[in-house]
Amino acid sequence: MNDTFELRHGDTHIEVHKFFPGAIAGVTLLALTLQAAFPVYVRRLDFLDLPLLITIYFGLSRRNPSTGLLLGTTIGLLQDSLSGPTVPLGLYGIAKTVVGYLASSIGARLDTEHPLARFALTAGFFVLHQAVMVLTRRLLLAQPEPWFNMHLVMAAGVNAVLGVPLFLLLDRLRRSS
């Protein structure tokens, strides 16, 4: 049985990757645990969003929009449940659902294996994630929330810089074909 599928569009082909059993669940639980521990022990790491990076990576790799949507929803709701009373249940779930769906959709159409493409997509998805969270807070919760500031630009850059080597590390969890 072949563990890698090929999507063919014209002259190009894009592989859909499979992972070792339990890899997605294990990486997700590790990312959620670290995300919950970072603000407690190291306050300067509060702008890192490891669950978002995991959602982006597996969305781009699996290249199935419905799988990306479900993964984003699951990771987002788990992050909501660990975030405490300051984050309403569903806020991260909504944002990561949108990002997971779009990452899978883009991953099915583009080759996202190049580090520069991964950097740009990670930074873009981080900004989109924050935009969805701000819109959700403003429209559904009627909370004033700043949108674009230097903290967003710096956080997007740091998450994108961290995402590239993290994605290379996660590439090792793929099953060879």
Given this model, what pLDDT does residue 144 score? 86
What is the set of domains in the chain, with CATH numbers?
Answer: 21-173 (1.10.1760)
pLDDT band for position 4 (cuts 50, 70, 90): low
pLDDT, average across residues 103-116: 89
CA-based angle 109:106:35, to the nearest 5? 145
Residue 50 has pLDDT above 50, yes or no: yes
Give the residue from 70, 63, 78 showing the smallest Cα distance to 31. Answer: 78
Percent of the chain at pLDDT > 70 equals: 91
Between 169 and 108, where is the model more confident? Answer: 169
